[in-house]
């Protein structure tokens, strides 16, 4: 019987299932057949309780749509970086059961995924021979992973942190970003952030209630790290330069359409920044 930790439950209930649901539509936002393969493997090993909670529950359109659009955005960031920097390194932090590697148009890179040991072991077990890239078993807050990913050098590295940092303690995230800014050169990071108002008081309770209503559980998914604005990221390290901010409602395919008008422009969004880029 598969024993799922909280973070793996969230990965199944949000990313994997959302990608599959959106892939099966007439005009799919994302094409992710490996997500279906991964989910089927997980389903066969899951308990009856987990099947009902994680696999069979109906997910709201706003969730599946935003998850697919977000994944497509991070795919585009990766594809562009690899195209400009062939032979680069791409690091997917807090990867969960993400299947981005198989969605890449150009695999001319060293692709590395990192997550907690319990989750990495499950991923290795269900994907086995399908895995042809490096996986690192450790917490993203254990900066020793940086030594591993910089063995070939510390230039031309793309770091992806999709749906990750907002769940980690703010001081720990700031310390990590400071370390990253000191260790990577001519590199780039794309990270998802949330507005700082959602990490405290009434808004914090509202977000927790929203997550529980969508997924049927909260998995401890309280936001702990937030920013006032994207530019705040630059204050965490001298070499960090924000070059883009993106929210899913900017996409033409964002659904429901009214989300464009109801979703605050900076509630939960992606910040892309260069790391010690040569002028």
Q: Where are the chain's structural domains?
A: 6-275
Residue 35 has pLDDT above 60, yes or no: yes
Model confidence band, residue 36 (pLDDT cutoffs 50, 70, 90): very high
CA distance 222 to 213: 14
Question: What pLDDT is recorded for position 259?
Answer: 74
3-state secondary structure of 261: helix
C-alpha 267 chain-centroid distance: 16
The residues pairing with 189 across neighbouring beta strands, listed in sequence order, are 159, 273
CA distance 42 to 51: 9
Model confidence band, residue 173 (pLDDT cutoffs 50, 70, 90): very high
The pTM score is 0.94
Q: Tell me which fold the domain 6-275 belongs to.
A: Rossmann fold (3.40.50)
Interior/surface letters 170-201, b for 16+ CB within 10 angstroms, e for the rest: beebbebbbebbebbbbbbbbbbbbbbbbbee
Model confidence band, residue 1 (pLDDT cutoffs 50, 70, 90): low
Q: How many CB atoms within 10 Å of residue 40?
A: 12
* Tens-place pLDDT, residues 206-238: 877 877 777 766 655 678 999 999 999 999 999
CB burial class (10 A; 0-12, 13-18, 19+) of residue 16? buried
* Tens-place pLDDT, residues 85-135: 999 999 999 999 999 999 999 999 999 999 999 999 999 999 999 999 999
Q: What is the mean pLDDT of residues 164-183?
A: 97
CA distance 249 to 261: 9
Q: What is the mean pLDDT of residues 138-153?
A: 96
């Amino acid at each position: 019987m598969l024993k799922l930790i909280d973070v793996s439950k969230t990965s199944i209930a949000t990313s994997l299932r959302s990608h599959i649901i959106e892939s099966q539509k007439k005009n799919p936002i994302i094409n992710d057949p490996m997500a279906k393969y991964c989910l089927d493997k997980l389903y066969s090993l899951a308990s009856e309780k987990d099947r009902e909670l994680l696999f069979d529950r109906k997910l709201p359109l706003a969730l599946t749509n935003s998850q697919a659009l977000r994944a497509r955005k991070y795919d585009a960031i990766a594809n562009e970086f690899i195209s400009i920097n062939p032979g680069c390194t791409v690091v997917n932090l807090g990867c969960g059961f993400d299947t981005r590697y198989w969605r890449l148009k150009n695999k001319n890179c060293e692709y590395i995924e990192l997550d907690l040991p319990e989750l990495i072991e499950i991923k290795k077990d269900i994907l086995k021979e399908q895995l042809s890239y490096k996986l690192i078993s450790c917490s993203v807050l254990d900066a020793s992973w940086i030594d591993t990913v910089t063995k070939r050098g510390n230039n031309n590295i793309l770091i992806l942190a999709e749906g990750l940092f907002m769940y980690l303690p703010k001081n720990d995230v700031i310390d990590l970003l400071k370390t990253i800014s000191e260790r990577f050169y001519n590199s780039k990071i794309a990270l998802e952030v949330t507005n700082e108002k959602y990490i405290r008081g009434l808004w914090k309770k509202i977000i927790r209630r929203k997550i529980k209503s969508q997924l049927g559980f909260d998995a401890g998914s309280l936001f702990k790290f937030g920013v006032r604005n994207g530019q705040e990221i630059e204050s965490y390290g001298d070499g960090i330069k924000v070059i883009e901010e993106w929210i899913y409602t900017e996409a033409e395919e964002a659904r429901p359409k009214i989300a464009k008008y109801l979703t605050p422009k900076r509630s939960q969004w992606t910040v892309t920044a260069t790391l010690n880029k040569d002028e």
